[in-house]
Amino acid sequence: MNLRIKSRHFCFISTIFAALLADQALSLDAKYEACAPLTCGSGPIISYPFWISSSSCATQTSRLPCSGQNPVLNFSSYNFIIKDIFYTNRSLLLVDSSAYYDQDSCNALLHSISLDRILFSFSSGKNRPVEQKVAIGVGAGVGTAIILAVAAVIILHSCKKLRSSFFKGHTSDRDIENFIKKHGSLTLKRFSYTQVKRMTCSFREKLGEGGFGAVYKGKLPDGTLVAVKLLNASKGNGEEFINEVASISRTSHVNIVTLVGFCIEGHKRALIYEYMSNGSLDRFISDENAMMRSPRLGWNKLYQIAVGTARGLEYLHRGCSTRILHFDIKPQNILLDDDYYAKISDFGLSKLCLKRESIVSMLVARGTIGYIAPEVFSRNFGDVSHKSDVYSYGMMLIEMIGGRKRVNGEADQSSEMYFADQVYQLIEEGYDQGFYCHLMEEDKETARKMAFVGVWCIQTDPKQRPSMRRVIEMLEGSAEALQIPPKPYFFSPRRSPIIESLSITVSL
């Protein structure tokens, strides 16, 4: 509503301003039209340096009264009728007005008169002030008219753009609200932006920054701690908002983060989640030796997190009423509660699959560099499906066991190949080298199972990757029962995702 009022006010004020400019331009033109040459009755044409008294261009010395249908020149207290003006040689033909109007009387009396040179001291040649004033005035009028025309075009364009933006924004808001009413959970609560500011103490404590916005710590009136994601207004025109609400509101699983509520007021949009006290998995595996330094996050906890994440993904792929592809599985999106149980979060890039075989249109590759499956970039590697999430999960497992350095936006192809190849070398040669040789046998078996499963999950061919159900079976089974996976052809883009329009078949 505010945007609509502002846009109307802008257009109204701009129109008034344009009208005032137009009026000023017309007044300038009308003023200088009065300076055109005129006649007084049957007298000569009156032009510069003289003007009829009624003309707005006339000055004290150049004003000629029009009396009795004749222009009159007064000096030395006597009036003389101007019979002719010779502009070429700058001379006048004057007649005494008393003799002119009283021709039947006696001869006119002689007068002693004197001429004041200053009276006729006018500039000549090119530098004529009044003519310049006329020229400048006419030019100003024409220039103002041109500026007015340009301003009118700009104003109309701006009004059209504002109106389009208003309706587009409100259409997006209506679409989001209708979607929430149609598909949202009945337990999902809507908060006002004022309530969001109050629960976060005006966004005082920042927990982190994601691709779609910042996350802040908050507290509900009943004392429940929450995490508030404030979405960036410039991202996705509400797509990520719909993805999150549509995806998480359909879920109910111990390994999926709970969405408490949402806020939408124009471009101000926020999502309120349950608070996870231990943050994300990323903070514990920032390098390959993190688990060796932290007594709270040993191999048992890593294994617990791996299994919990696998169960959450298996639920999204097969346990939901609507199948969900996450497309952004990585340590930053695996949250840990008080007991370090894993919960999958951040569904901003997710896709819903309403049928067993669906067509998903993707304009750009989704995900984070280092975790994106090869087929997401190129159809030459196969179809995009739930196996794309399996690939991301496998890369995360390899990072968890210390087989590769932390992946970031600057990771290149050679480093990713090296660390994944190092894990495969450990599978072939055993865990009696490096820091693995100091592990207890039980921990070695855990690391071995996670490495086996990780390499199976990152096979280049999606058909060779296991389903998440099979991943859980392998993790919970014996390490000796696992088959050695083929050595994959490691693929990774060097920098940013390749933008291409994909028509993707999702087969689950």
The answer to whether the beta carbons of residues 222 and 232 sit under 8 Å apart is no
What is the Cβ-side half-sphere exposure of residue 505, based on CA atoms within 13 angstroms?
A: 6
With 0-12 / 13-18 / 19 or more C-beta atoms within 10 angstroms meaning exposed / middle / buried, residue 361 is exposed
Q: Is pLDDT above 90 for 217?
A: yes
What whole-number distance in Å separates Cα of residue 121 and Cα of residue 279? 92
Arithmetic mean of pLDDT over the chain: 73
Across residues 228-241, what is the average pLDDT?
73
The pLDDT assigned to 114 comes to 56
The pLDDT assigned to 507 comes to 39
The pLDDT assigned to 469 comes to 96
pLDDT tens by residue, 414-452? 445 556 677 777 777 666 665 566 778 888 888 889 989
Across residues 360-373, what is the average pLDDT?
71
Confidence band, pLDDT 50/70/90 cuts, at residue 292: very low
The pLDDT assigned to 232 comes to 80
Q: What is the rounded (10 degree) CA torsion for 40, 42, 48, 49?
A: -80
Across residues 312-323, what is the average pLDDT?
87
pLDDT tens by residue, 476-500? 998 888 888 888 775 544 433 433 3
Query: Is residue 229 marked as binding?
Result: yes
How far lies 53's CA from each of 34, 98, 107, 134, 176, in Å? 11, 21, 31, 17, 72
The answer to whether the beta carbons of residues 397 and 307 sit under 8 Å apart is no
Across residues 204-223, what is the average pLDDT?
89
282, 328, 389, 443: which is the annotated catalytic residue?
328
List the single range of 255-269, 324-338, 340-354, 396-410 with lowest mean pLDDT.
Answer: 396-410
pLDDT tens by residue, 81-110? 887 888 777 777 777 777 666 555 555 555
Q: Which has more confidence, 72 or 144?
A: 72
What whole-number distance in Å separates Cα of residue 227 and Cα of residue 298? 26
What whole-number distance in Å separates Cα of residue 466 and Cα of residue 313? 13
Across residues 242-249, what is the average pLDDT?
77
Whether 328 is a known active-site residue: answer yes
Chain mean position to CA 69: 73
What whole-number distance in Å separates Cα of residue 277 and Cα of residue 257? 12
Tokens 């032009």 identify what position? 47
Chain mean position to CA 222: 36
Q: Is pLDDT above 90 for 116?
A: no
Q: Which has more confidence, 33 or 446?
A: 446
Helical H segments across 93-128, by residue range: 97-101
Report the percentage of the chain scoring pLDDT > 70. Answer: 58
Confidence band, pLDDT 50/70/90 cuts, at residue 389: very high
Instruction: Collect all residues with Cβ–Cβ distance below 8 Å to 182 and sequence separation of at least 6.
Output: none
Q: Is pLDDT above 60 for 314?
A: yes
Confidence band, pLDDT 50/70/90 cuts, at residue 473: very high
What whole-number distance in Å separates Cα of residue 285 and Cα of residue 292? 10
Confidence band, pLDDT 50/70/90 cuts, at residue 310: very high
Confidence band, pLDDT 50/70/90 cuts, at residue 289: very low
* DSSP-derived pairing of the beta strands 189-190 and 259-265: parallel
Q: Name all contacts of 144-150 with Cβ < 8 Å and 24+ positions apart.
A: 144/21, 144/24, 144/25, 144/28, 145/25, 147/21, 148/18, 148/21, 148/22, 148/25
**Within 10 A of 179 (CB to CB), how many other CB atoms are there?**
15
How far lies 52's CA from each of 28, 61, 124, in Å? 19, 11, 20
Q: Is the pTM of this model over 0.75?
A: no
Q: Is pLDDT above 50 for 147?
A: yes
In order of their start, the domains of the chain are 1-102+127-158 (no CATH), 185-275 (3.30.200.20), 279-507 (1.10.510.10)
Across residues 111-124, what is the average pLDDT?
53
Helical H segments across 384-481, by residue range: 386-400, 413-429, 441-457, 468-476
Secondary structure element (H or E) that encloses residue 81, with its range: strand 78-86
Q: Is pLDDT above 70 for 72?
A: yes
The pLDDT assigned to 163 comes to 52
Confidence band, pLDDT 50/70/90 cuts, at residue 248: confident
Helical H segments across 74-128, by residue range: 97-101
What whole-number distance in Å separates Cα of residue 56 and Cα of residue 53? 8
Confidence band, pLDDT 50/70/90 cuts, at residue 506: very low
What whole-number distance in Å separates Cα of residue 200 and Cα of residue 470? 42
What whole-number distance in Å separates Cα of residue 402 and Cα of residue 380? 30
| One-letter amino acid for residue 432 of the chain | D
Q: Which has more confidence, 151 or 192?
A: 192
Confidence band, pLDDT 50/70/90 cuts, at residue 4: very low
Secondary structure element (H or E) that encloses residue 19, with its range: helix 2-33
Q: Which has more confidence, 12 or 214?
A: 214
Helical H segments across 34-63, by residue range: none
Output Rg (C-alpha) for the chain, integer angstroms. 43
Q: Is pLDDT above 50 for 77?
A: yes
Across residues 355-365, what is the average pLDDT?
54
Tokens 């009136």 identify what position? 221
The pLDDT assigned to 179 comes to 65
